[in-house]
């Protein structure tokens, strides 16, 4: 039995048509994994996925407003040495660029409290 001509063309055309979709999903996955890896650096103090341990003096980040997180991170980042309010967050925040801060804020805002 012979394979119809359209069937021989259908699979390559389908693969070609779906390739941008696959690339977009892959890019989204890469970005999501990158953001999750950035967020993992916060886990030591703020807990996994931003959920601090009950009774901790460190605040949970999970479920906080994205704008609030961005504002706080930028405030930490802008604090000058010698300021009496300096904490470890002032040092850590300086290691992130604005895009990373936005990404982290979005990640933590999306987590359930």
Lowest mean pLDDT among 19-28, 32-41, 59-68, 76-85: 19-28
Residue 8 domain flag:
no
Is residue 5 over pLDDT 80?
A: no
Here the CATH number for the domain that contains residue 62 is 1.10.760.10
pLDDT digits (tens, 9 = 90+) for 24-53: 444 578 999 999 999 999 999 999 999 999
Distances (CA, A) of 89 to 39, 58, 74: 14, 11, 11
**Quick check: is 38 in a domain?**
yes
**What pTM, to 2 d.p., does this model score?**
0.72
Count of domains forming the chain: 1
Domain span holding position 81: 34-110
From residue 27, alpha-carbon distances to 22, 41, 101, 103, 108 in Å are 9, 22, 19, 15, 20
DSSP annotation of 74: H
Question: In angstroms, rounded to a whole number, what is the distance separating the alpha carbons of residues 32 and 79?
Answer: 29
Is residue 18 situated within a structural domain?
Answer: no
Q: What is the pLDDT of residue 86?
A: 79
Q: Within a domain: residue 29?
A: no
């Amino acid at each position: 039995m012979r394979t119809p001509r359209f069937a021989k063309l259908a699979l390559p055309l389908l693969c070609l048509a779906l390739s941008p979709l696959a690339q977009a999903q892959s890019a989204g996955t890469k970005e999501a994994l990158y953001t999750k890896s950035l967020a993992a650096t916060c886990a030591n103090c703020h807990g996994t996925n931003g959920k601090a341990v009950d009774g901790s003096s460190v605040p949970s980040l999970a479920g906080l407003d994205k704008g609030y997180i961005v504002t706080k991170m930028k405030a930490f980042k802008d604090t000058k040495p010698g300021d009496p309010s300096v904490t470890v967050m002032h040092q850590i925040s300086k290691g992130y660029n604005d895009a990373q801060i936005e990404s982290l804020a979005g990640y933590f805002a999306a987590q359930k409290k």
